[in-house]
């Protein structure tokens, strides 16, 4: 790396930033770059899909359109004169990390966590055991998951493992009247399967107690408000052990609101609804059992809580087991990053190793100059969409400090479009996306939905090409 001359970031010599990924953390990083006073910058944003917005398009549930509306903020960022979108470009395949280093002064990795944690228990390989990532991508029309199938027509009871907001989304989509989803941007294949679904009971399996549930109060409350759906909690499991009661007093109000809500549901009993969310606590799945090759039950080991060295209550298995009759299992126990060829990766944490957003060559190793990271790839898969705004801003502050200290890459080229064309990559520009967006909205409108998503990369690209002015 060469020390940069003083004029980098001026009108004559704008700072060129490459952002890899186009989800919330990517747009908040681009926004923060454009907002740095006195800095002249250009931002090129890459996504392997032809469409922008990452988890807002492919993760946020279709019945949470109010959360999806955040894309209006990202659209404003994309209107900045220095912004360009390069969709349908996979880094590590279409462009290598070295190509990016030859074209940009700084690179911001906003690649999220594309895979998921698995339980690692016997029976997990049965075809009726799924990760939440697959199910969420499938109902959201994410091209990667279009071919998945979930045998909802043959299941009346399912288990959802995990007590986070992803588990809440999965449980709600399974229990909700599909007609209430029909007007959203849910994928057509998912709506058809949900209409044929026989699922009536969802066991939500938490390995810790009600006080440690990771879901937001409004998410569990939303399920209880669904017509015909009861949230059922066994009174014994709603009670807190003395240590959890003491611990709860030190926690955020949301944990206290969850406990109050769950204890209230325990008092209300079974209810008269046809569909049930059965919240179980202090249960550790140990095996998925099959009958004739199909999921028939999940065996759980009961647990009690004990504080670890830092005082956090952790589950300790006890000598008591239960078998829950279920025909499908969804694991919603957290996401995990996947390595990008040529990029640093921490296999233990499943993130890009970094010190406050500055990428390290390896975990605990030296800083990798010119490379920065934001979002889930930086801190792991936690936080809501909005959490990424201050997080990306903090990384951009490090970039500005490094720029002032003369630490930036010294790119030899400024011709990424030409490089992509040379390689025969048909990239999607922001103007292409705007036409595709209008097309998806119009198609949705014609079908009585907020949006119709083209279901595959091929269909998305065919629409992009068809919509281009001749």
Question: Is the CB of 218 or the CB of 466 nearer to ligand NAP?
Answer: 218
Window 9 to 68, contacts with ligand NAP (CB under 6 A):
64
Q: Tokens in use for 389?
A: 């705004």
Question: Is the CB of 105 or the CB of 208 nearer to ligand NAP?
Answer: 208
Q: Tokens in use for 313?
A: 């209550």
Question: Is the CB of 305 or the CB of 399 nearer to ligand NAP?
Answer: 305
Beta carbon of residue 118, minimum distance to ligand NAP (angstroms, whole number) = 9
Question: Is the CB of 132 or the CB of 340 nearer to ligand NAP?
Answer: 132
Question: Is the CB of 207 or the CB of 358 nearer to ligand NAP?
Answer: 207
The three-state DSSP-derived secondary structure of the chain is: CCECCCCCCCCCCCEEEEEECCCHHHHHHHHHHHHCCCCCEEEEEEECCCCCCHHHHHCCCCCCHHHHCCHHHHHHHHCCCCEEEEECCCECCCECHHHHHHHCCEEEECCCCCEECCCCCCCCCCCCEEEHHHHHHHHCCCHHHCCCCCCHHHCCEEEEECCCHHHHHHHHHHHCCHHHCCCCCCCHHHHHHHHCCCCCEEEEECCCCHHHCCCCHHHHHHHHHCCCEEEEECHHHHCCCHHHHHHHCCCCHHHHHHHHHHHHHHHHCCCCCCEEEEEECCEEEEEEEEECCEEEEEEEEEEEEEECCCCCEEEEEEEEEEEEECCEEEECCCEECCCCCCCCCECCCCECCEECCEEECCCCCCEEEEEEECCHHHHCCCCCHHHHHHHHHHHHHHHHHHHHCCECCCCCCCCHHHHHHHCCCCCECHHHHHHHHHHHHHHHHHCCCCCCCCCCHHHHHHHHHHHCCC
Question: Is the CB of 32 or the CB of 385 nearer to ligand NAP?
Answer: 385
- The single residue among 332, 359, 374, 436 that binds ligand NAP, judged by CB under 6 A, is 332
166 binds ligand NAP, rule: CB under 6 A: yes
Question: Is the CB of 69 or the CB of 384 nearer to ligand NAP?
Answer: 384
Window 203 to 242, contacts with ligand NAP (CB under 6 A):
207-208, 212, 214, 216, 219
Beta carbon of residue 285, minimum distance to ligand NAP (angstroms, whole number) = 7
With contacts defined by CB under 6 A, name the span among 158-166, 242-250, 355-363, 395-403 that binds ligand NAP: 158-166
Question: Is the CB of 47 or the CB of 219 nearer to ligand NAP?
Answer: 219
408 binds ligand NAP, rule: CB under 6 A: no
Beta carbon of residue 165, minimum distance to ligand NAP (angstroms, whole number) = 3
| # of chain residues touching ligand NAP (CB under 6 A) | 25
Beta carbon of residue 116, minimum distance to ligand NAP (angstroms, whole number) = 8
With CA atoms as reference, report the closest residue to 78 among 36, 44, 109. 44
Q: How many CA atoms lie within 13 A of 203 on its CB side?
A: 27
Window 100 to 129, contacts with ligand NAP (CB under 6 A):
117, 119
Q: Rounded to whole angstroms, how far apart are CA atoms 25 and 54? A: 9
| 287: β partners | 299
Q: Which residue is nearest to ligand NAP (CB)?
A: 164
335 binds ligand NAP, rule: CB under 6 A: yes
Beta carbon of residue 12, minimum distance to ligand NAP (angstroms, whole number) = 43
Question: Is the CB of 127 or the CB of 382 nearer to ligand NAP?
Answer: 382
Question: Is the CB of 169 or the CB of 230 nearer to ligand NAP?
Answer: 169
Beta carbon of residue 130, minimum distance to ligand NAP (angstroms, whole number) = 14
- The single residue among 65, 75, 165, 254 that binds ligand NAP, judged by CB under 6 A, is 165
Binding map of ligand NAP across residues 368-397, x = CB under 6 A, - = no contact: -------------xxxx-------------
333 binds ligand NAP, rule: CB under 6 A: yes
69 binds ligand NAP, rule: CB under 6 A: no
Q: Which residues of the shown chain bind ligand NAP in the complex (CB under 6 A)?
A: 64, 117, 119, 161-167, 169, 207-208, 212, 214, 216, 219, 332-335, 381-384
């Amino acid at each position: 790396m060469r020390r940069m001359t003083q004029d980098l970031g001026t009108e004559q010599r704008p700072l060129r930033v490459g952002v890899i990924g186009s989800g919330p953390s990517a747009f908040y990083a681009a926004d923060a770059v454009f907002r740095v006073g006195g800095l002249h910058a250009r931002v090129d944003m890459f996504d392997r899909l032809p469409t922008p917005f990452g988890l807002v398009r492919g993760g946020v549930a279709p019945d949470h359109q109010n959360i999806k509306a955040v894309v209006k903020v990202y659209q404003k960022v994309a209107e900045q004169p220095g912004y360009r979108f390069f969709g349908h470009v996979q880094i590590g395949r279409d462009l290598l990390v070295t190509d990016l280093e030859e074209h940009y002064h700084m690179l911001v990795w906003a690649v999220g966590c594309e895979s998921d944690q698995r339980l690692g228990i016997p029976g997990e390989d049965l075809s009726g055991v799924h990760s939440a990532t697959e199910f969420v991508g499938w109902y959201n029309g994410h091209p990667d998951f279009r071919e998945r199938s979930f045998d909802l027509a043959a299941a009346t009871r399912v288990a959802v493992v995990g007590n986070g907001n992803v588990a809440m989304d999965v449980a709600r989509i399974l229990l909700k009247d599909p007609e209430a989803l029909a007007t959203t941007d849910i994928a057509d294949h998912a709506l058809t399967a949900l209409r044929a679904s026989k699922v009536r009971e969802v066991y939500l399996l938490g390995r810790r107690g009600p006080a440690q549930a990771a879901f937001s109060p409004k998410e569990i409350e939303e399920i209880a408000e669904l017509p015909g759906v009861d949230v059922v909690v066994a009174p014994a499991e709603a009670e807190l052990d003395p240590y959890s009661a003491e611990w709860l007093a030190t926690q955020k109000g949301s944990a206290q609101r969850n406990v109050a809500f769950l204890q209230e549901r325990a008092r209300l009993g079974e209810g008269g609804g046809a569909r049930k969310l059965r919240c179980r606590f202090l249960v550790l799945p140990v095996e998925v059992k099959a009958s004739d090759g199909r999921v028939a039950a999940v065996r759980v080991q009961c647990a009690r809580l004990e504080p670890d060295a830092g005082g956090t209550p952790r589950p300790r298995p006890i000598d008591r087991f239960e078998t829950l009759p279920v025909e499908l299992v969804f694991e919603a126990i957290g996401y995990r990053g996947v390595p990008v060829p040529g990029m640093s990766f921490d296999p233990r944490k499943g993130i890009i190793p970094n010190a406050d957003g500055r990428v390290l060559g390896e975990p605990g190793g030296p800083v990798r100059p010119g490379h920065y990271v934001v979002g889930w790839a930086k801190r792991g898969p936690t936080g809501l969409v909005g959490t990424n705004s201050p997080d990306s801003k903090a990384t951009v502050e490090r970039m500005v400090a490094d720029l002032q200290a003369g630490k930036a890459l010294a790119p030899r080229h400024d011709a990424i479009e030409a490089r992509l064309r040379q390689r025969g990559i048909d990239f999607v520009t922001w103007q292409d996306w705007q036409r595709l967006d209008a097309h998806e909205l119009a198609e949705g409108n014609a079908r009585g939905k907020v949006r119709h998503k083209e279901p595959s990369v091929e269909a998305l690209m065919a629409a992009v090409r068809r919509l281009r002015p001749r």
